[in-house]
Amino acid sequence: MARPRRKRCVSGLPMVEGFKPVGIPMKELSTVTLLFEEYEAIRLCDYLGLRQEEAAAMMKVSRPTLTRVYEKARRTVATAFAEGKAMIIEGGDYQTEGDWSRCPRCRRAVSGSQHIAKCGLCETSENKKST
């Protein structure tokens, strides 16, 4: 019997659903997909500067698995940059710590399972504009 694949732990959803090149309408772009666990590997290794051993422990995977996920992630990001593609962050084989949902207004990720009308983030920016 095959060993069941362990889910990769990600601490939360990425802040945005994806990235696109400046000045080109979405409908004219082709896209690449960055999986949630690939996003998390880049966030841990490159943004937070963790060593791969540490990132692997955070995601509860083996070091070779982390390396594989991380290298695929960097190839995907590099492809988007070099070929001018949009990058959508979705899918994968992952679990999050706690519940996350997306603000229906600004589409940013917020923690919590309850259905939210809007998050604190877009509320905050609105307050700034009005003062």
- Residues 24-43, mask of contacts with Zn ion (x by CB under 5 A): --------------------
Count of residues engaged in binding Zn ion, rule: CB under 5 A: 7
Q: How far is the CB of 49 from Zn ion (least distance, A)?
A: 29
Tell me whether residue 68 or residue 105 sits nearer to Zn ion (CB atom).
Answer: 105
Q: Among 9, 29, 86, 122, which residue sits at the site for Zn ion (rule: CB under 5 A)?
A: 122
Binders in 87-106 for Zn ion, by CB under 5 A: 103, 105-106
Alpha helices in 2-119 (DSSP H): 36-42, 52-59, 63-83
| Residue 61, Cβ density class (10 Å: 0-12 exposed, 13-18 middle, ≥19 buried) | buried
Q: How far is the CB of 17 from Zn ion (least distance, A)?
A: 13
- Residues 60-89, mask of contacts with Zn ion (x by CB under 5 A): ------------------------------
Write the CA distances from 64 to 31, 38, 52, 68, 93, integer angstroms.
27, 14, 9, 6, 16
Q: Judged by CB under 5 A, does residue 13 bind Zn ion?
A: no
Among 53, 63, 54, 61, CA closest to 3? 61
Among 102, 96, 77, 97, CA closest to 87? 77
Binding site for Zn ion (CB under 5 A): 103, 105-106, 118-119, 121-122
